[in-house]
């Protein structure tokens, strides 16, 4: 567990160092960031046979978001308006290695619904090579 906590702390520290949205109103300025920090109930499915419901906590600083999707992977992404664009690293949080990228949009109830595509490696039953997945996060 200490390695897992250390990894998560380093991801959060990196996110803090890289975060920040400006309030500049020029046409090239990023859109405002919808605050997503909080606890959610998550439903996850993917093309490799994953189907699970887990509690998820999202952490956001500026426009940068980090989270752990239990049994899926560690997530780091950028919020722009009501959209989250993210990358998932499968190592350390699932029986598979590999990575994926995807996006999610804000729901009318304040949750997120999204999808991702990527590549898994490993010998676990949910490590099938090409993977596509979907999730819904409902704010608690």
pLDDT in tens, 28-87: 445 588 999 999 999 999 998 889 999 999 999 999 999 998 888 899 999 999 999 999
Helix (H) / strand (E) element for 62: namely none
List strand residue ranges (DSSP E) for 47-129, in order: 51-61, 64-69, 73-80, 83-89, 97-106, 112-121
* Average of per-residue pLDDT across 128-136: 94
pLDDT over threshold 60, residue 15: no
Q: What is the CATH number of the domain that holds 104?
A: 2.40.160
For the stretch 90-104, pLDDT in tens is 876 667 889 999 999
Domain that holds residue 9: 2-20+29-139
Q: Tell me how many domains the chain contains.
A: 1
pLDDT score of 14: 38
């Amino acid at each position: 567990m200490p390695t897992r906590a250390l990894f998560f702390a380093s991801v959060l520290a990196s996110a803090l160092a890289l975060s920040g949205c400006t309030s500049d109103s020029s046409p090239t300025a990023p859109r405002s960031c919808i605050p997503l920090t909080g606890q959610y109930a998550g439903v996850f499915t993917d093309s490799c046979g994953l189907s699970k419901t887990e509690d998820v906590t999202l952490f956001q600083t500026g426009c940068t978001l980090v989270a752990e999707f239990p049994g899926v992977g560690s997530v780091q992404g950028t919020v722009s308006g009501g959209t989250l664009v993210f990358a998932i690293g499968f190592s350390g949080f699932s029986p598979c290695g590999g990575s994926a990228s995807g996006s999610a949009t804000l729901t009318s109830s304040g949750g997120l619904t999204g999808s991702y595509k990527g590549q898994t490696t490993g010998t676990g039953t949910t490590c099938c090579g090409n993977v596509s997945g979907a999730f819904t996060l409902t704010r608690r």
